[in-house]
Amino acid sequence: MKKTRIAVFVSGGGTNLQALIDAEKRGELPSGEIALVLSNVQSAYALTRAENAGIKGVWVSKKELGSQEAFEEKVVEILTQEKIDLIVLAGFMSILTKSFTDRYADRIINIHPSLIPSFCGKGYWGLHVHEAALEKGVKVTGATVHFVNEIPDGGKIIMQKAVEVEEGDTPEILQKRVMEQAEWIILPKATEKIAREIANK
Ligand code: GAR
């Protein structure tokens, strides 16, 4: 069976990308292959992780291209060239327009570090999500993998996993626990699930 060709979009450290690379190496992503890593940040360590794994990495600069529209046009050109079937946003800190998300309807998934609909939407990214969770005093948080549409963190939920908040947690400690106990587990699982559905279409 033909494997689903996956592009992982990143902006930073890329620990979720690493979880995907490791899952593929262990044979836990049998329906897909990570064919491309695309970053909107030139210095993203995720690009080094791609290189170390022998995966093609590209940097696309919105600043150099001049607009979001030109950025997305360039991205579409690259995805078409690489015959990408599925896009995984793994710490990609840029909001895609409706024109882009419509073009890849049900073909873009994202990992978000909270139990949606809590602590999500505009402004809730990275450490800010965990700061907000601690400020609110929730006792349980977690991570969500969902489809991406034009509403930030608003698409259909695919998978979730809960993580306990502990006494004395800082945003950094909580972020690490959510990554270890939820994100790095459900992102590869959800990616395989959707890759399998696409491969079977
Ligand atoms: C992860 O916690 C991811 O869930 C979050 O950013 C971090 C990226 O880390 N994404 C968002 O907040 C998206 N709204 P990574 O680069 O090490 O995977």
Task: Describe the strand order of the beta sheet including 86-89 as a list of residue ranges.
Answer: 57-59, 32-39, 4-10, 86-89, 108-112, 140-147, 157-164
Run of H or E including 39: strand 32-39
Residue 1 pLDDT: 84
**Residue 144 CB–ligand 1 contact under 6 Å:** no
Predicted TM-score (pTM) above 0.95: yes
Q: Examine the residue annotation and report whether 146 is marked as an active-site residue of this protein.
A: no
Q: Coil, helix or strand for 122?
A: coil
Domain count along the chain: 1
Task: Say how many Å lie between the CA of residue 141 and the centre of ligand 1.
Answer: 15
**Residue 183 CB–ligand 1 contact under 6 Å:** yes
Contact 77, 69 (CB under 8 A): no
Query: Mean pLDDT for the chain?
Result: 98
Domain that holds residue 180: 4-199
**Residue 113 CB–ligand 1 contact under 6 Å:** yes
CATH of the domain at 83: 3.40.50.170
pLDDT tens for 78-92 read 999 999 999 999 999
| Mean pLDDT of all residues in 104-111 | 98
pLDDT tens for 38-95 read 999 999 999 999 999 999 999 999 999 999 999 999 999 999 999 999 999 999 999 9
